[in-house]
Structure 1
């Protein structure tokens, strides 16, 4: 509850207390490691987040590819990197495709995402804000957004990244992919900092840039969904419905599609309920009440 409310330091203490409380059920430790990993990522403590991803990789049997990618992505976020650290990162990313597993003949969507991103790092030796991207695709901004002090440093780094991308546009091989990712993150930050008009502009720009995106085709779909979520928050119900339905009908075959569809379907249900309430006339007075009047 402390984590969901945005009180991340208190949450860290509680998870650590839970770990030392017992040692018989290691699965509970893994649950705590998972949440501690995200808590430290929310705080921008990337080394600690990476260390918990490493512990999960060593102890948990869920998804070795996902844990390895999370560890590498968090280490990329560390700003002072040496030549040795870059070689180590390349080694970590190269392990991700080998670790991908198939369950009942199918791969986990998040593992496919991790493999794509790892291949991109191997080819270009860079990823843009992969730690924040992971927080976003795991819906972690709903927690970050509870605390302004958590969102503001994210926005500052995202805006600095956008400025750097603009300076190096001609030498950036996947400029529009990187720019759109950073712009989606900027829009989400602005939404939670109560700047809805600026956030709306960010999401609209990403939707417009869809034809220029080479690899990250999930970004326009997610930006369109963010417009729907934003309009729902503002009670602009027809616009919300239009954009949410557009996500389901006009975007196909992108990474993490099913993950987004769950959120969109929930939002559409909320839109339907809100529209029904808006269309319901005021209840007629009961006959007994009329007589008393």
Structure 2
């Protein structure tokens, strides 16, 4: 209906000025006509802007033209509004399509990066760590003598170069939380980096397993013994191991993996005992390493930041 009205406004044959009967400029003529006095010439229909007679018809013509101009202005304003609405709709649609295209491109780029990371990780060297407790026996003065085998295996598809390992035995303090103890172990792992130029490194090929035996004794004064069952004293040693190496795909960075295990015992009934008893002999079947954390920790650092000084 709105468009029909608008299009109708464009009809050039439509009367833009309503015809009306001529009214004489002289009031006497109009009064005579109203009184029924016959005139020599009948009044005809005229348009206001066709040869206007006098000031009144000129004013009427001007008003009529102003009204027509206002009507035309309203008509084109109406069309301008609908054209703007249609244009804005197309612009909004284009913006939505552009945004969707950008999001699709971003997702495709991230998927490509993820695929590259997966491909690179599948081809690089990966070192896993393990522990094999072999022996724990009394040492003179109340200490303990240990024989532990630390293991490292390359489960990746390429060589691990510049490989070396470090290990130590630690004890968690009586008032030390697990988080604080883990932070202390991390500090030890980072401190070992200073020894990188003092240790002979080697290359570990895929599927190769390296065994690092550790035989050592710990004096009683260095072990935080605690009463566990009556007069029986016990303690829980924690063995820390870290491996440092580089990969073929990223030779300028040092890969670091570290892990810790609590040394626990197995009693005569096969039950786990979360301590090592002072003065007792343990063989391989009596010991097992319980991971301090479920997963190993992985870190990297820029090899150029490690100096020989």
**TM-score normalised according to structure 2 size:** 0.16
Q: Quick check: which one's strand share is greater?
A: 2
**TM-score normalised according to structure 1 size:** 0.17
The structure with the largest alpha-carbon Rg is: 2
Q: Quick check: which one's helix share is greater?
A: 1
